[in-house]
């Protein structure tokens, strides 16, 4: 379906606004309390072999424990098979050594050289070399692609992934980002969970390269070594041609790169909430870029697939909605994207339009949680979200909904969100998709800037 046709459908009267949820009702309070109580049970040491830092907001998903154990067993079996194959290979090599060597072929006689004519006698009659015809000029090679003039008019692909962890899983996500040819990466918090800035940086460098543009927002698992993380990536950003960042990088900072503006905020994690809200409002108002993002780590319960608490408040979201800036978060280890939102903080947040066609501009935006960078995958909390009417797509360990349609129960995997801005050179068109490391396209949507 073409964008004009989708726009025509999107312009129909929006769904009737739902009455504000009464969080004080006994039934709702009891449902949320039961759901959260079930989730808050401390994990055993065996369930955390990586040695990650764990707190009450970072328990491994209950529904994946058996699957994880089964996968570990399968991996061990595969290792045993590989060892047997290596033994067989060594045995074959030993047998080859015991065999008599094959005789070497006899050398062929070298051809006799042609007699060289005596230059004093001159060339024989009829033996003068014929002049070779001059080659016809071929077609000139086509010029290569012209460099993108800063990204204001050319397409720009941005990768967004948070809650990374360390080891093979985030490495697979970095490889996916490289394969998709993203122009830069934004990580909305929670890096390696081990307070090891050196290892975190090295794992990125090993795949993407030391000069690849990476921008960070602080997460709650990054605070202990934040100065080191920040110093490493501040030095990295300073080497990126055309990247401009002001303020306290990753905490209260505004950046522009390839024509995309994004505010990297520590709201809910570091600093005064009131000061963070004011910084957001001022930074957004001071910029006139066609595309803008609000990036921070933590969530509101309404705008995630899990049951984590509301740590941000609605004011920050409302500043972004007023400006028409897309809100990107992590923290909850799943993927969750809303429809177009026009009244954030109300009963249904002003959700409107088609789930696969989003509008951004003054007074409208959407939010997305992209927390499948490699650490873990959490479950869908249906008891908390059964009455939600604002979702476009959801992807968790046990539930998948794509553009309003429930899909087959997923074999959930890590991945990243990608947004391509200025599609076809149109500064008012963008498209997004979430892709797993196995290549599954979990979400696809179009964005129109009003």
pLDDT tens digit string along 72-129?
A: 344 444 444 444 444 444 444 444 444 444 444 444 444 444 444 444 444 444 444 4
Tell me which of 11 and 154 has the higher pLDDT: 154
CA distance linking residue 155 with residue 2, whole number of Å: 19
**Does residue 17 register a pLDDT over 70?**
no
| 361-386 pLDDT per residue, tens | 999 999 999 999 999 999 999 999 99
Residue 46 has pLDDT above 70, yes or no: no
Q: How confident is the model at residue 53 (pLDDT cuts 50, 70, 90)?
A: low
Over range 237-250, report the average pLDDT.
97
By mean pLDDT, which of 46-50, 71-75, 217-221 is the weakest? Answer: 71-75
Mean of the per-residue pLDDT values of the chain: 79
Fold held by 156-449 = Purple Acid Phosphatase; chain A, domain 2 (3.60.21)
Average pLDDT over residues 347-373: 98
Residue, of 287 and 87, whose pLDDT is higher: 287
Where does the pLDDT of residue 34 fall: very low under 50, low under 70, confident under 90, or very high at 90 and above? very low
> For position 410, what pLDDT does the model report?
83
The pLDDT of residue 1 is above 90: no
Question: Across residues 301-310, what is the average pLDDT?
Answer: 98
Position 369 scores a pLDDT of: 98
What does the pLDDT read at residue 290? 95
pLDDT of residue 251: 98
């Amino acid at each position: 379906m073409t964008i004009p046709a989708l726009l025509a459908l999107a312009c129909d009267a929006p769904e009737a606004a739902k009455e504000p949820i009464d969080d004080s009702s006994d039934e709702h309070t009891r449902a949320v309390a039961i759901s959260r109580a079930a989730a808050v049970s401390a994990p055993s040491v065996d369930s955390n072999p990586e040695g990650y830092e764990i707190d009450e907001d970072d328990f491994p998903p209950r529904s994946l424990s058996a699957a994880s154990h089964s996968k570990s067993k399968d991996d061990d079996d595969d290792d045993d098979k590989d060892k047997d194959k290596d033994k067989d290979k060594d045995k074959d090599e030993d047998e080859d050594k015991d065999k008599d060597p094959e005789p070497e072929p006899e050398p062929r006689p070298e051809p006799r050289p042609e007699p060289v004519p005596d230059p004093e006698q001159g060339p024989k009659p009829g033996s003068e070399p014929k002049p070779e015809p001059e080659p016809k000029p071929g077609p000139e090679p086509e010029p290569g692609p012209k460099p993108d003039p800063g990204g204001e008019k050319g397409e720009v692909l941005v990768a967004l992934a948070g809650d990374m962890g360390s080891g093979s899983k985030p490495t697979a996500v970095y490889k996916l980002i490289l394969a998709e040819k993203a122009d830069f990466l934004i990580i909305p918090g929670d890096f390696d969970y081990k307070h090891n800035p050196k290892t975190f940086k090295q794992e990125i460098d090993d795949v993407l390269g030391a000069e690849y543009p990476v921008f960070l927002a602080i997460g709650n698992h990054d605070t202990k070594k934040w100065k080191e993380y920040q110093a490493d990536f501040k030095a990295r950003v300073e080497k990126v041609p055309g990247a401009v960042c002001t303020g306290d990088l990753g905490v209260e900072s505004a950046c522009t790169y390839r024509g995309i503006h994004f505010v990297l905020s520590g709201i809910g994690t570091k600093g005064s909430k009131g000061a963070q809200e004011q910084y957001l409002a001022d930074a957004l108002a001071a910029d006139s870029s066609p595309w803008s993002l609000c990036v921070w780590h933590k969530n509101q319960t309404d705008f995630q697939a899990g049951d984590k608490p509301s740590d941000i408040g609605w004011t920050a979201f409302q500043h972004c909605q007023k400006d028409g800036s897309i809100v990107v978060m992590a923290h909850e280890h799943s993927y969750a994207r809303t429809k177009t939102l026009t009244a954030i903080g109300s009963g249904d947040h002003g959700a409107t339009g088609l789930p696969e066609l989003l509008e951004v501009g003054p007074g409208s935006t959407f939010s997305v949680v992209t927390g499948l960078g490699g650490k873990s995958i959490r479950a869908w909390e249906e008891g908390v979200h059964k009455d939600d009417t604002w979702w476009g797509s959801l992807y968790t360990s046990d539930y998948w909904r794509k553009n309003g349609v429930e899909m087959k129960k997923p074999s959930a995997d890590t991945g990243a969100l990608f947004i391509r801005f200025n599609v076809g050179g149109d500064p008012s068109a963008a498209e997004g998709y979430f892709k797993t490391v196995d290549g599954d396209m979990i979400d696809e949507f179009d964005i129109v800037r009003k």
